[in-house]
A and B are shown apart, each in its own frame.
Chain A
Amino acid sequence: MLPARPGPSRPIEPAQSGRVLAPLHRWIWRDVDRRARKLIRFAETEAEGGRHIAHAAELTSDPLLRRLFLRHALDEERHAGLFRGRGLQLRRERMADRKTDTKTGFDADWLAPGERGLDRLQVGEMSEAALLAFLHLSEKAAAERFALYGQMLEDDPETGAVFGNVLRDEVFHMTYTRTQLTRVAPARDRRTLWRARAGRLWRAYLRIAGALAGLLGGIVLTVQYFLLLPLFAIAARRAARRETGGWSACPARDKGALESQY
């Protein structure tokens, strides 16, 4: 496992929006069960992000980028281990005190996400410049979030230390991605960054629109379920009662059976 890096040369401060919402974040992180669940979820995101970045290393033809991406992937895996370890420790402590169960609850993932987006990277579909810009913005946002979360956890210094540890790597990641973006696309690094920002906004819109469409679709389907299905359900249940399990004959198939989808 890689050693932790020394602290950043300049401290990372929470974003303005995060500072405004500090009381809300303090409330989110106060609940120990939720804290444990969020850390475990962060671990999954980091691990998946690490796999995608390793894939980016496999796809690039640039040796320096390959080495940096591999290093980055190892960092993400180390973060996953840190988050998972601390999350599980919190769960164990709570379970030992019989203060918790294993059910899920309200985790406020929209308000307090981990390293958002890395787990859904489509590295094969992005140019190297676009990927570096995306990574730079993601790491910067994550660094600001983790700085904020660390500040919310004065009463849990161990979890705070995990965020501090991860934060040092995030600074390295946001720095190298910016430096490399300038190297691989010197004439269009700013434009690429703006495009990446627009892309993040677009993805945020898609997330909201998708969630809304899902909600509306769910309502429509639920209405259909209760309006249209009852009669068919009665027939289906009657038919089910005639089935006893055990062997059934295989349906006879004619020569053209493969042309049918039924």
Chain B
Amino acid sequence: MRILGISAHYHDSAAALLIDGVPVAAVEEERLSRHKNDAAFPLAAIAWCLESAGIEPGDLDAVVFYEKPMLKFARILTTVLRAFPRSRRAFVHAMRNALGEKVWVKGIITGELGVARDKVLFTQHHQAHAAAAFFSMPTERAAILTTDGVGEWATLTVGRGTRTPGGPSSLELLREVRFPHSLGLFYSAFTAFLGFPVNEGEYKVMGLASYGKPRFVEEVRRTIVRTADGAFRLALPYFDFQESARRSFGQGFIDLFGPPRDPYQPIDLATAEGARYADVAASAQAVLEEVLVDLARGLRLETGLSDLCLGGGVALNGCANARLLAESGFERLFVPSAPGDAGCALGAALYADRIHFGQPDRELPDHPFWGPVADGAELARIAAEDGLPLSKLAADGALYEEVAAALAAGEVIGWMDGALELGPRALGHRSILAAPHDARTRDRLNLHIKRREEFRPYAPAVPTELAERYFELPSGGARLGRFMSGVFPVRPEWRSRLAAVTHVDGTARVQTVDAAMAPRFHALLLAYGRQSGIPVLLNTSFNLAGEPIVNRAVEGYSTFRRCDMDRLVVGRVMVTRPRNAARQPEEAVA
């Protein structure tokens, strides 16, 4: 069967193509359109998926959308009605928003792709999350926990799944927490309060939390109340998202935590205000973790299963994931590379294949590389046209040694290799790499390359088999590190030598690199280890502030030219930045 999965219209649109039960292509729209967090209907992603498989829309057996648009519309309308008469602006905003495009999904799909109406299917939002989290992971029986802002009504679900190799599969969602009670929206309220953009700045809250003390924990607990049945509800007077399209938190929230941060003012952690923001972040993070751990413990006792699959945007919180692994009682924790809405495109297709059509289970490749392939020849052509120093290495071994030597000498390198990752993490195919030893490297990256807040940490990448030497990984930690989904302590004796990737609290969001998953990146790490003595590299996503991760070689080149990067490598082609170059020749032609 040929099944196309689509997620769209809220954030991180994406498309994924499944052929005979196995993904063959998946990509976020933003990587092709070059608009960060592109929420538009993913025409470019769909076109690329179909083209890469050599099929036409008419060849598809089903097109599956990742949520039920009418059910979602009903929830939005109900929410507005409940807040009457304070929801006038929210009503106008919601109607314009929904009636413009979002409720006409079936028509858009049939119109744009020309497929028959009966081929268009709709999963529930959290079914798609659950399917992405379970069916794409190497486990046959697992408990499932999905949690995000909100789908249709559900904001959090628990369930379980089973797979029989070559046989039937099941995915059962046991119960759910419904809007407006939402862990994702709870965390987003703090994100907004701390002056970061909602749906994008949540990981900044997590980074900031490490600088603070959780002295507001009791206040945070007043905003999220545990219910007698073991779940939770939000204390709604503290929040505004259910009544306003513009504000996530209410006056009660401000009374508890003080004035919100002005988004335009930098956070100075040396001041009392800066410390308060960090303390609020630490407190919100602590409460999020304790609720998640408690829910997961209950699920573990209920199901008796040893594996937990985690889906939804909250699963991007690496600190919470690490605590779940350590304290929930589950032995293994699986988080896909794209647990957020982009991954729902794949999840929706998998759910339709395994559950709706009852297709037999297939083992899926355990990697995130489903996007377009970077072409070294393209870089060679462009660099030659621009007269930049270029080398084409005949063998991989020579490339690894040369790149490793440059990294050891303190250079910052753009590294593009093979197919693009699905999900927000660069896992060695679209990465900016640097030596992890010196905190000044981190400062250089923050100031001249990534241009981002100084409190945000950088991640280390390490070969899986060597990870425990440098990091305190619990049992199952390496699995969590496969897609950079967990934050773990750096061993104290290595912290000073891994200063650029060790966060203020002594932790790091480790990527454990498996030779079978990313052989070239793994080999580069080993080559760097031979030269520097430590096979660890700083790995951050290959993009500039406000831009999506690069996709094609030309986008890597454009990024390379616009920041202070030293080299760019695509496949076996390497371009070096000329130092002390003469004034740009293009000035003369103007």
Using CB atoms and an 8 Å cutoff, list the residues of chain A in contact with chain B: 40, 47-48, 51, 54-55, 57-58, 63-64, 66-68, 70-71, 73-74, 77, 87-88, 91-92, 102, 124, 172, 175-176, 179-180, 214, 217-218, 221-222, 225-226, 229-230, 232-233, 235-237, 240, 243-250, 253, 255, 258-262
Contact A71 B584 (CB under 8 A): yes
CB-defined contacts of B557 to chain A, threshold 8 Å: 58
Known: A67-B584, A70-B561. A250 touches B84 (CB 8 A): no
Contact B558 A246 (CB under 8 A): no
Contact A67 B122 (CB under 8 A): no
Expressed in whole angstroms, the minimum distance between the Cβ of A128 and any Cβ of chain B is: 15
CB-defined contacts of A258 to chain B, threshold 8 Å: 64, 121-123, 351-352, 356
Q: Which size bracket describes the interface of B in this complex?
A: 35 or more
Question: Any chain A CB within 8 A of the CB of B492?
Answer: no
Question: Any chain A CB within 8 A of the CB of B590?
Answer: yes
CB-defined contacts of B68 to chain A, threshold 8 Å: 260-262
Contact B96 A217 (CB under 8 A): yes
- Give 12 A-B contacts (CB < 8 Å), ordered by A residue: A51-B546, A58-B552, A67-B585, A68-B590, A70-B562, A102-B262, A179-B589, A217-B96, A221-B92, A235-B81, A244-B233, A259-B122
CB-defined contacts of A92 to chain B, threshold 8 Å: 265
> CA of A124 to CA of B584 in the docked complex: distance in angstroms?
26
Find the residue from B74, B554, B562, B585 having the highest chain A CB count within 10 A.
Answer: B562
> CA of A57 to CA of B555 in the docked complex: distance in angstroms?
9
Known: A40-B264, A67-B586, A71-B584. A246 touches B233 (CB 8 A): yes
Of B171-179, B422-430, B495-503, the one with at least 4 CB within 8 A of chain A: B171-179
Using CB atoms and an 8 Å cutoff, list the residues of chain B in contact with chain A: 33-34, 64, 68-71, 74, 78, 80-82, 84-85, 88, 91-92, 95-96, 105-106, 118, 121-124, 154, 157, 159, 173-178, 181, 225, 227-234, 262, 264-265, 351-352, 356, 382, 385-386, 546-547, 552, 554-555, 557-558, 561-562, 584-587, 589-590
From A74, A87, A249, contact of B562 by CB (8 A): A74
Q: Is the interface of B mostly helix, strand, loop or mixed?
A: mixed
**Besides the known contacts A64-B589, A233-B81, A259-B121, 10 further A-B residue pairs in the complex with CB atoms under 8 A apart:** A51-B34, A67-B585, A87-B264, A91-B262, A176-B586, A221-B96, A222-B88, A245-B181, A250-B174, A258-B123
6 closest A-B pairs (Cβ-Cβ)?
A245-B233, A176-B590, A233-B84, A246-B227, A236-B81, A63-B385
CB-defined contacts of B546 to chain A, threshold 8 Å: 47-48, 51
Expressed in whole angstroms, the minimum distance between the Cβ of B265 and any Cβ of chain A is: 7
Find the residue from A70, A88, A255 having the highest chain B CB count within 10 A.
Answer: A70
Contact A247 B562 (CB under 8 A): no
